[in-house]
Amino acid sequence: MRFTDRYPIIVTNRKEACRDFWIRHLGFVSGFDSTWISWLTTQDQSASIAFMTPDHPSAPPGPDNFSGKGMCFELQVEDAKAAFEKISATGLEIEYPLTDEPFGQRRFGFHDPSGLWVDIVEQTEAEAGFWDKYMIGSRS
């Protein structure tokens, strides 16, 4: 099976605020925008996300309003420091500062208007031996 796209749909009463946030702070563009759903993508289509109101009859069964808990949206970049500077320049309040993590990431993060945690990450070298105790099959 070949997928042509993949994206989460965040059900929220703040669809317009989310759309505007992702366009302003993260440089996404609107691919489809209606009264009940906004689908956004990057200009190179390397990432997509959608925001949907909870009251449209075409909504798939099951999704409740997103509570802001239990989900993290990872956006992997080549240079987290450059992304941090660019996003900070838009006036966005960064909630987790640019940090070099011992497990092999340079990252920073913030919430969007729906409560979704957005983690901007660059893969780096983990500290020697960091992952040894977590790997399946390596425990004594």
Higher-confidence position of 63 and 21: 21
Say if residues 76 and 122 touch (Cβ distance below 8 Å). Answer: yes
For residue 91, what pLDDT is reported? 97
Both tokens assigned to 1: 């099976």
CA separation for the pair 29, 24 (Å, rounded):
9
Among the listed residues 93, 98, 101, 103, the one whose alpha carbon sits nearest the alpha carbon of residue 79: 98
pTM of the model: 0.89
CA separation for the pair 78, 65 (Å, rounded):
33
Q: How many helices (H) and strands (E) does the chain have?
A: 2, 8
For residue 59, what pLDDT is reported? 72
Residue 28, phi then psi, degrees to nearest 5:
-70, 160
The amino acid at 95: E
| Residue-range domain boundaries for the chain | 9-54+68-128
Q: Encode pLDDT of 6-62 as tens digits.
A: 899 999 999 999 999 999 999 999 999 999 999 999 999 999 999 999 887 777 777
Q: Looking at the domain 9-54+68-128, which fold is it?
A: 2,3-Dihydroxybiphenyl 1,2-Dioxygenase; domain 1 (3.10.180)
